[in-house]
Amino acid sequence: MKYLFITLIVFAVNLLPAFGPPTWTLLVIARWDWHLNPVALVLLGVAAAGAGRLFLAHGARRLRARFSERYRANLAFAEQRLVGRRSTLFVLLGLFVVSPLPSAQLFCAAGLLEFRILPLTGAFMAGRIVTYSLYLAAATAADHRFGQALRQFWGSPWSIALQVVLLIGLAALPLAPWRRRGATPVD
C-alpha cells in the first residue's frame, strides 16, 4: 500500500508545471520513514515521474490552441529554430541523461513547441534512474550511519524554528532594497 501511495504522490507532483518538490526528496523521505526497498522506489519513482511529465507535456499541447495568434506565431518561430536543429535536440536530450535539472517547464515547452515528447520522456527517465539511484543510495547510507541522530534533529523544536526563520527570510527577499544607491533603473 505504501508503494502505491508514493507512486501516486510522485505522479501527481510531476503533473505540476511549477512549485512541486523534487521527486528525489519524496523518494528519500519514503525510504527513511517507511524503510521501503530502494530499488523498487527508484523504478516506481522513475515510472511515475515519467508518466506525470508525459501527461504534463500533452496538457500543455492541448492549451496551445487557446493562445492568441501572435503567441502561436512566436511559438512557431521558436519551434522552427529549435526543432529543426538536430544538434539542439541532442543537447536537450543529453541534459536529461546527465543532470537532475528541474524539468516541468521544459516539458511544458516541449508540449507547446510540438517536440517529440516520447524521446524526451525516455531521456528524462534514463537520467532519473541515475540520479534517483544516487540520492537513494546516499540516503540509505546516511540512514544506516546517522539515522537516529537525523530523526531527532528534524523533529526538534530548534530545527523547526530554524526552518520557519529560513522560510520567513525567503519570503522577505523580494522586499529587500536590491537597488544600489545612485543606480538608475532600467526600463
pLDDT of residue 135: 92
pLDDT of residue 157: 83
Nearest to 6 by CA among 33, 19, 101, 134: 33
Nearest to 116 by CA among 58, 63, 51, 66: 58
Find out whether 133 and 43 touch, Cβ atoms under 8 Å.
Answer: no
Q: How confident is the model at residue 100 (pLDDT cuts 50, 70, 90)?
A: low
Neighbours of 159 (CB within 10 A): 13
183 secondary structure, DSSP code: P
pTM of structure: 0.74
The pLDDT tens digits of the residues spanning 110-169 come to: 898 878 899 889 988 988 998 899 999 998 888 777 777 766 776 678 877 887 888 788
The pLDDT tens digits of the residues spanning 1-24 come to: 999 999 999 999 999 998 888 999
> DSSP labels for 15-70?
T-SSSPPPHHHHHHHHHHHH---HHHHHHHHHHHHHHHHHHHHHHHHHHGGGS-HH
CA–CA dist 26, 136 (Å, integer):
10
The pLDDT tens digits of the residues spanning 22-79 come to: 999 999 989 988 989 999 999 999 999 999 999 999 999 999 888 888 888 888 888 7
